[in-house]
Structure 1
Amino acid sequence: MSRALLARNGRRALPLIYGGRRGTDTLSGVHLAARRFIVDMSYSAHFMDFKGSSIASSMKKLVVTKLSPNFREAVSTQTVAVPTPGDADLLVRNRFVGINASDINYSAGRYDPSVKPPFDAGFEGIGEVVGLGLSASSRYTVGDTVAYFGSGAFAEYTVVPAKEAVPVPAVKPEFLTLLVSGATAYIALKRLGDLAKGETVLVTAAAGGTGQFAVQFAKQAGCHVIGTCSTNEKAGFLKSIGCDRPINYTAEDLAKTLKKEYPQGIDVVYESVGGSVLELAVNSLANKGRLIVIGFISGYQSASGIPPFKGGTLPVKLLQKSASIRGFFLPHFLGDYREAMSSMIQMFAKGQLVCEVDFGDLAEEGKFVGLDAVFRAVDYMYAGRNLGKVVVEVAPPSVSNSKL
């Protein structure tokens, strides 16, 4: 038995029986090489790779201690014991975590008002399995690389239910971009967009974490794609991923440009800004147009979380055009998640999907490294400076002979 595998309860484990298999993971669609899995025949309940991964006795994590849309005010850094995975759980050493606009909705308690502080922050992470429960060992082993979408990601280690983990070929931050941002664009456009070849699609905040994917998926569907952005650099990026008409709204009047260049209107809008941009999107819809609301970031930092919207004439406008507004919240579409992740991972592997990552290299204090950098990363994103998905490197690659 490997000396790196120790029983968490302190007892000496009896010999283990190993078995191998080869095949394709049904969740990610990634081909798995034959490897040895643990079949426990001891009194041990958990396996922890203390030697190979140098698991410390304590760790840092970010905890929401006060409900507020001000992330720095709501969240604090705490030092706690490294948790022990349950029977069907994995203990993941986080290498990278993703920043989402909705992180401050979570810190403000807007998703589930019944949940009171303190509670853990962060939605998505990627790293290496360094410990696992007995049931989880039938499918995973120490050293496997996984990504996950769930609460408590802003931590150096996170316990993840094995059934919710996504096996990935390597700990690359590009895979992290797919968990929320990519999946939102993929599923929303597929289920609610009803895209048809030749239609015109408008993506707001198109150079952001999820906008970049909406542009690419709409283009793959044979649509003419318009993307809004705030700089010429972002406009150049949008062109590079297939956007037909980037519009830098700081240099062009968005309303006038859409009216002049698209007099017949927009067939589908993928909208995440809200407020006046949402109003413009409604006014720009074509007959039978579909407007998909995936967020309204312009209001998240306010007390209510909702930006002002003049909707008094909305019923008339929708009726006159036989148009519709459709809301999308990823947790309501988890039945589509496996297929979406599998498809996107395969597209990325084949070079058919760009997953742009922003580590904050151009931020004032430099690259986002270390858990405390999450605070800077949230500010950076809300200042509209990011190009692509904002990602924080929580820990450097392991120097052991693990897979990282």
Structure 2
Amino acid sequence: DSPVPLPGDGDLLVRNRFVGINASDINYSAGRYDASVKPPFDIGFEGVGEVVALGLSASADYTVGQAVAYVKAGAFAEYTVVPAKQAVPLPSVKPEFLTLMVSGATAYISLKELGELSEGKKILVTAAAGGTGQFAVQLAKKAKCHVIGTCSSDEKGGFLKSIGCDRTINYKTENVESVLRKDYPEGVDVVYESVGGKMFDLALNSLATKGCLIIIGFIAGYQNPTGLQPIKAELLPAKLLKKSASIRGFFLNHYLSEYKMALKHLLEMYERGDLVCEVDFGDMSPEGKFTGLESVFRAVDYMYMGKNTGKIVVE
């Protein structure tokens, strides 16, 4: 235990009600994002809660009791001090809003800036039923694309169909490579890739001429010492040249100038009922719902086992 922190002049003290679990949590805690950060340090990137105290300057825009969300290191705590300029005012404290902060914004900005979506394009989303995949599927459908989504169970496939996915591939029961070769012989125009390893190789091979593969993560390798799984990199230049294809990396921190507008659009879509924000509290996990800080480690394990449908959230 530690004392409840005090907000500075331009800060809010937020009592966290819901915090999000991201694949990048393990990279940050392993020092892969910033090797200069040494333990002990705060972890957890996003939270939703209410303002319980605030500095004088912050009171110009916020009041005690107001619902807010934020993206800032240190969310895995009961109370977090958040600079007022980094907070996002919300109509209420709901876990669905949390899904948009990192996962939704990543899908929105990357597909808008790098995907060049247009009607009729074929989009492959790996880990499509996950926290960010669910938004990639829906946003691509809103752009009138044909969407293919990989997943690990028929239940997840059912969820994907419910949000508009045209073709689901359960990689536990179907051969992804064979399905793509048979059903999409000309390839796919855009890949939204978050798995890495063998799935990356399959996705790369599935690209159409002038296709683009967007890397937003590689969760299959995050638990390895290097954070990576082997890929057939020696063949990469030839494969890209042969198809005039491209690979683009996307890291949300490099697109902060687009973040505010992206989040505004996502919040409006959700409020209108035009966007499903699936939340997984771990109710089906062996030890039950993720409640309390002591369950954060279980939630991270749950994510790496690939059990979740939608965004994993701890209450």
Give the TM-score normalised by the residue count of structure 1: 0.78
Residue 199 of structure 2 is aligned to residue 255 of structure 1: no
2:281 to 350, 359, 376: 359
Offset of residue 269 of structure 1? 0.1
1:110 to 29, 32, 51: 32
| Residue in structure 2 matched with residue 88 of structure 1 by the alignment | 10
For 2:281 and 2:236, locate their aligned partners in 1 and report how far apart those are by CA, in whole Å.
40
Residue aligned with 1:96, SS: strand
2:239 to 311, 317, 334: 317
Residue aligned with 1:119, SS: coil
1:139 to 38, 61, 71: 61
Offset of residue 115 of structure 1? 1.2
Ranges in structure 2 where 5+ consecutive residues have no aligned partner: none
Residue aligned with 1:202, SS: strand
| Residue in structure 1 matched with residue 87 of structure 2 by the alignment | 165
| Residue in structure 2 matched with residue 236 of structure 1 by the alignment | 158
| Residue in structure 1 matched with residue 290 of structure 2 by the alignment | 368
Offset of residue 313 of structure 1? 1.3
Residue aligned with 1:205, SS: coil
For 2:99 and 2:47, locate their aligned partners in 1 and report how far apart those are by CA, in whole Å.
10
One-letter amino acid of the counterpart of residue 278, structure 1? F
For 1:380 and 1:297, locate their aligned partners in 2 and report how far apart those are by CA, in whole Å.
13
One-letter amino acid of the counterpart of residue 376, structure 1? R
Residue 190 of structure 2 is aligned to residue 190 of structure 1: no
For 1:135 and 1:143, locate their aligned partners in 2 and report how far apart those are by CA, in whole Å.
17
Superposed counterparts of 1:338-349, under 5 Å: 338-349=260-271
Residue 237 of structure 2 is aligned to residue 297 of structure 1: no
One-letter amino acid of the counterpart of residue 99, structure 1? I
Residue aligned with 1:384, SS: coil
1:152 to 70, 74, 94: 74
Superposed counterparts of 1:385-404, under 5 Å: 385-393=307-315
Offset of residue 242 of structure 1? 0.4
| Residue in structure 2 matched with residue 379 of structure 1 by the alignment | 301
For 1:280 and 1:253, locate their aligned partners in 2 and report how far apart those are by CA, in whole Å.
10
For 2:111 and 2:64, locate their aligned partners in 1 and report how far apart those are by CA, in whole Å.
37
Residue aligned with 1:280, SS: helix
Ranges in structure 1 where 5+ consecutive residues have no aligned partner: 1-78, 394-404
Identity over aligned pairs, percent = 71
Give the TM-score normalised by the residue count of structure 2: 0.99
For 2:295 and 2:117, locate their aligned partners in 1 and report how far apart those are by CA, in whole Å.
39
Q: Which has the larger radius of gyration?
A: 1
Residue aligned with 2:233, SS: coil
Structure whose residues are more often strand by fraction: 1
| Residue in structure 1 matched with residue 195 of structure 2 by the alignment | 273
For 1:88 and 1:98, locate their aligned partners in 2 and report how far apart those are by CA, in whole Å.
24
Offset of residue 116 of structure 1? 1.1
For 2:9 and 2:230, locate their aligned partners in 1 and report how far apart those are by CA, in whole Å.
47
RMSD: 0.5
**Number of residue pairs the alignment of both structures matches:** 315
